[in-house]
Amino acid sequence: MKVKKIVELKSTFSFEAPILKAEGLNSSSMNIAQMFDLNSVLAPNPDSIYLVRVTGESMINEGIFDGDILVVNKSEQPKDGKVVIASLNGEMAVKTYRQIEGKTYLFSANEKFLPIEILPFWQFDIQGVVKHVIHNV
């Protein structure tokens, strides 16, 4: 899965939405129970967060689909089994980061794609850890 577009969040970014409560099962009226700051979930530290739009089908078994937006933490260190944004020989990709017997691999979440063993002479860098996936339903 490839990264199509990268958007940095501004530290002043804010998004609040109401949490509604229904007034009984048969009621069509909704009342605001409280306001919810989406930043507290998606971007608690906006200076470390960026968004990417992705293309491809290599991560569908992780629930990441073509056109999705990923919320990425660029300051978090990758851990084995985490979904990451990786720069590999100048191309950005979304893959599962794995450490196996001292070797680094990038795995897809689709059996159509083979794992990639990171070779020492490749240009390789982790650009961040994926924290959330946003897609249409």
- Smallest CA-to-CA distance from 84 within 102, 101, 108, 55 is with 108
Annotated catalytic residue, options 4, 58, 103, 131: 58
Give me the catalytic one of 29, 87, 95, 103: 95
Q: Write down the residue that tokens 């229904």 correspond to.
A: 22
**Is 58 part of the annotated catalytic residue set?**
yes
Give the C-alpha separation, 36 to 9, whole Å. 19
Based on the residue annotation, tell me whether 95 is a catalytic residue of this protein: yes
The full length of the chain comes to 137
Which residues are known to be catalytic?
A: 58, 95
